[in-house]
């Protein structure tokens, strides 16, 4: 494993050259490492290399990125005068001998349970890590700081952004990173007293071994990503590893169900644990104040807010500042985002709701809903949403799951198989009355019709703006 951010004499293979991969390569080069990088997309290789020539798969071409301009937290963490003198070459890790490498750094999207390069690295005894692990190993050289790690199936991004917003409101230097915003290695280090707020997916936790969070948060665990794990128990165990990395005396903020049913703290003795559901029992803030938080509506956002309140209280933010920040928080795109109000009808973009468990709270948040649902289904039911079906005036199904969901819903509500998102918006808008909500909360992935949930949400906005 890497011992320090001075990586002279170390060799790393980096697989995947999207944003976090590029930041990782440049951080390693700034520390003096020898880096062999690869992405199957030649354009990404060419964008990283200052040389216009990138050879074919299995061949390597040494280049230099000594003058790479991207600032990274590890650049200032590297104390050696040789920093920035690493070397870069391009070759597919599957086609080269990994013997002697100090680590294989992969994108969280690489399925470790079935990708051949993972098996090859394990056979060679090479650690498989991610950019969060590199950040964790650089912490000792950064100005004194704290780290908050947030995981869970649903609500991670909103809670991460809310904690960051509260800290900023309090005048505490903070950065967001991990699974949100810029890669953490692509950001300048915080001054002394700063707080790094990291959204962490289970995939990122799987690639991390030494991230000792000052405060670790688990919002919830519901079935998701089961193609990557040995059943639901394996998925829950991945989340629990965030706490297993903490030192005794650190703080853990967890939901009651995960603590009781999945024993996420069982291998983490000595942590100071608090439960999200109990937070407002011991704080001056009360649940009734949620009506004053326009971007935090719905029961799920109350729990997200409670987690953020507890974290920021632990970090020393006064309750008056927390209360003010809850009111001024503007939310994130594609997460219960109010797009427009037309003729008394509110249009809400909740495209990030990619499973029924994340859609259920959105259905609970509004009284009379024209629900746009469907896409690439992650399961064969909508049972998690059923308790809130009484709020739905009519459903409009779209995408691959449209026919299945229509058959599931017809016994409980009027349903139209709209097929496309644009058609669903037009039909919903034509039938909605003043006071109603047209809600895109698909309970599905987007990949049948869109590149990702962001593109789907943008298409929803465009369809609303196109209404006459």
pLDDT value, residue 109: 77
Q: For 99-111, how does the pLDDT look when each residue is reduced to its tens digit (9 = 90+)?
A: 999 999 998 877 7
Q: 52 pLDDT exceeds 50?
A: no
Give the residues across from 342 on adjacent strands. 345
Average pLDDT over residues 279-302: 93
Give the mean pLDDT of the chain: 89
CA–CA distance, 74 with 186 (Å, rounded to integer): 9
Q: For 168-202, how does the pLDDT look when each residue is reduced to its tens digit (9 = 90+)?
A: 999 999 999 999 988 999 998 999 999 999 999 99
Tell me the percentage of the chain whose pLDDT exceeds 70: 90
Q: For 223-275, how does the pLDDT look when each residue is reduced to its tens digit (9 = 90+)?
A: 666 567 777 888 888 899 999 999 999 999 999 999 988 889 988 889 999 99
Q: 1 pLDDT exceeds 90?
A: no
Annotated catalytic residues are: 156, 179, 225
Average pLDDT over residues 210-229: 85
pLDDT value, residue 409: 98
Which pTM was predicted? 0.83
Residue 189's contacts (CB-CB under 8 Å, 6 or more residues apart) are: 73, 76, 77, 142, 143
Q: Which domains does the chain have, with CATH numbers?
A: 11-134 (3.40.50.720), 143-328 (3.40.1190.10), 337-465 (3.90.190.20)
Residue 155's contacts (CB-CB under 8 Å, 6 or more residues apart) are: 219, 220, 300, 301, 303, 304, 307, 358
CA–CA distance, 243 with 221 (Å, rounded to integer): 14
- Indicate the range of 41-55, 58-72, 445-459 predicted with least confidence: 58-72
Q: 74 pLDDT exceeds 90?
A: no
CA–CA distance, 426 with 435 (Å, rounded to integer): 17
CB-side neighbour CA atoms (13 Å) of 298: 24
Task: Give residue for tokens 């390597």.
Answer: 60
Average pLDDT over residues 290-301: 92
**Is the four-CA dihedral 376, 381, 384, 386 of positive or negative sign?**
positive
pLDDT value, residue 226: 59
pLDDT value, residue 125: 94
Q: For 96-140, how does the pLDDT look when each residue is reduced to its tens digit (9 = 90+)?
A: 999 999 999 998 877 787 889 999 999 999 999 999 999 998 899
């Amino acid at each position: 494993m890497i011992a320090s951010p001075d990586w002279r004499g170390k060799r790393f293979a980096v697989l995947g050259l999207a944003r976090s991969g590029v930041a990782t390569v440049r951080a390693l080069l700034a520390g003096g490492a020898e880096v062999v990088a690869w992405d199957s997309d030649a354009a990404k290789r060419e964008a990283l290399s200052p040389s216009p020539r990138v050879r074919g798969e299995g061949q390597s071409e040494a280049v230099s990125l000594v003058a790479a301009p991207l600032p990274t937290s590890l650049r200032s963490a590297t104390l050696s005068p040789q920093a920035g003198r690493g070397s870069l070459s391009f070759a597919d890790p599957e086609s080269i001998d990994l013997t002697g490498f100090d680590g294989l750094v992969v994108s969280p999207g690489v399925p470790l349970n079935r990708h051949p390069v993972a098996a090859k690295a394990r056979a060679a005894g090479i650690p498989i890590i991610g950019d969060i692990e590199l950040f964790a190993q650089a912490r000792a050289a950064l100005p004194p700081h704290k780290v908050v790690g947030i995981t869970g199936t649903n609500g991670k991004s909103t809670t991460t952004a809310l904690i960051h917003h509260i800290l900023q409101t309090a005048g505490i230097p903070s950065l967001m990173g991990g699974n949100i915003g810029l890669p953490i290695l692509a950001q300048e280090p915080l001054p002394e007293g700063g707080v790094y707020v990291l959204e962490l997916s289970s995939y990122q936790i799987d690639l991390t071994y030494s991230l000792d969070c000052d405060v670790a948060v688990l919002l919830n665990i519901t079935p998701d990503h089961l193609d990557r794990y040995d059943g639901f128990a394996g998925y829950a165990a991945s989340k629990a590893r965030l706490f297993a990395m903490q030192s005794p005396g650190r703080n853990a903020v967890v939901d009651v169900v995960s603590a009781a049913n999945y024993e996420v703290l069982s291998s983490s003795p000595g942590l100071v644990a608090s439960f999200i559901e109990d937070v407002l029992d011991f704080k001056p803030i009360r649940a009734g104040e949620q009506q004053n938080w326009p971007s935090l509506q719905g029961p799920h956002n109350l729990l997200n807010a409670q987690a953020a309140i507890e974290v920021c209280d632990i970090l020393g933010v006064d309750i008056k500042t927390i209360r003010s920040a809850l009111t001024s928080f503007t939310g994130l795109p594609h997460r219960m985002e109010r797009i427009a109000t037309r003729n008394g009808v509110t249009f809400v973009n909740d495209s990030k709701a990619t499973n029924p468990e994340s859609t259920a709270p959105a259905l609970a948040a509004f009284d009379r809903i024209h629900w746009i649902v469907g896409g690439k289904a992650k399961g064969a039911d909508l049972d998690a949403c059923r308790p809130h079906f009484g709020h739905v005036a009519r459903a409009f199904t779209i995408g691959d799951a449209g026919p299945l969901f229509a058959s599931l819903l017809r016994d409980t509500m009027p349903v139209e198989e709209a097929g496309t998102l644009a058609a669903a918006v037009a039909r919903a808008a034509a039938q909605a009355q003043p006071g109603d909500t047209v809600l895109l909360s698909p309970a599905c992935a987007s990949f049948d019709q869109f590149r990702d949930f962001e593109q789907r949400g943008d298409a929803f906005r465009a369809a609303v703006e196109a209404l006459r």
